[in-house]
Structure 1
Amino acid sequence: MVDDPGVVIGEDGLARPAWASVDPLLRDYYDTEWGMPVTDERGVYERVTLEGFQAGLSWATILRKRPAFRAAFDDFDPDTIAAYDERDVDRLLADTGIVRNRQKIEATIRNARATVELRDDGGLSALVWSFKPDTTPAPRVFADIPTRSPESVALSRELRRRGFSFVGPTTMFALMEAIGILDTHLLGSHRRGSSGIWPT
């Protein structure tokens, strides 16, 4: 709807939130990927990792560096990363294509090991998706979108208990939005309900 204050109408006539309305990379990510269900182990692990790296930075920065992240971290294969040692940490700290933060790099390795261990108990994806709430937000404007929820707090707590790092409640809420567990598309957006998980 053109008069909806929560969305911006693009040249293509489609309604998007302001953050996805200008930058072509963000617009494509929003239109094709963000909020769509991700249920495979590697896909969930990658997004847990990238959301952790995003903390304190813009998502656009992480998205632009995603190809370099995938190359540097062996396409986010948990088994491969679980075997990383200090030489790999040094290699990653020297890689100008990624965010060079030792704590986040070391957390990525710990999280890979924790992901492998979780396979004996249902796996990472099943654990994360088990925190899907009964309802999803229905935001009209960006300010209506929460940044955490009881489920994201509980998921954060459980992942920490399982040995994960950089999985705070706000980061986990962003993960839940990104992989379709929640639908926080604005009500006026052309993507509302596109995941098939939640009704429009």
Structure 2
Amino acid sequence: MNSKNTTPHILPNNPSDLQSIDLKSGLTFVGQGVLDLSHFPRLLQEIAPNSGFEASQVHWELGTWFEERLGSIPMQYMHLRLAVDLPLTCQACFQPYLESIDSDRDYILFDTEMEAEEWDFDEENQDAEDALVASETFNLLETIEEELLLSLPLSARHPQGECRPENLQKVAKVLKSGADEIKIEKPNPFAVLKNLKKQ
């Protein structure tokens, strides 16, 4: 591992500073801290309202470095680790629960969108690295929010066996009553033939 700059620049735990990081400066960066959920409005929309559970703040750790690849221009990498507890609504019993999200990802940073799209990632290990476009005003808050949204479960559910049976029964009754009210009237083929014969 080769670094362009042996002394990394320390990022402050300050939202305004994290919204504009010069990743094209040739510096390496390190930082960690805790951010309030109010800085992530799209993530707030996923939280179950009036759940009785308290969401945690977002814990973050970041490090960037450069690596030589086959004697070419050094490639810039970023490691980002995130952790947060969010109250979500279980899709099985419709009751709130606390989901712990722990994201740990490496990124390769490119100068342009085209370079990022054309990069040939290892097909056997596609989840190991992702592509990001570096800029002089890189917004880390947006990247954090995007990564946490992608880390949410596709279908939020309690851990296996933790849904209360009475809640599952209530959901089943609601679904059954709703299904009973939906009646799809299909034309009777014999009635259609009878009508045709009359014409």
**What is the TM-score with the length of structure 2 in the denominator?**
0.21
Q: Which has the higher helix share?
A: 1
For the pair shown, which has the larger CA radius of gyration, 1 or 2? 2
Q: Which has the higher strand share?
A: 2
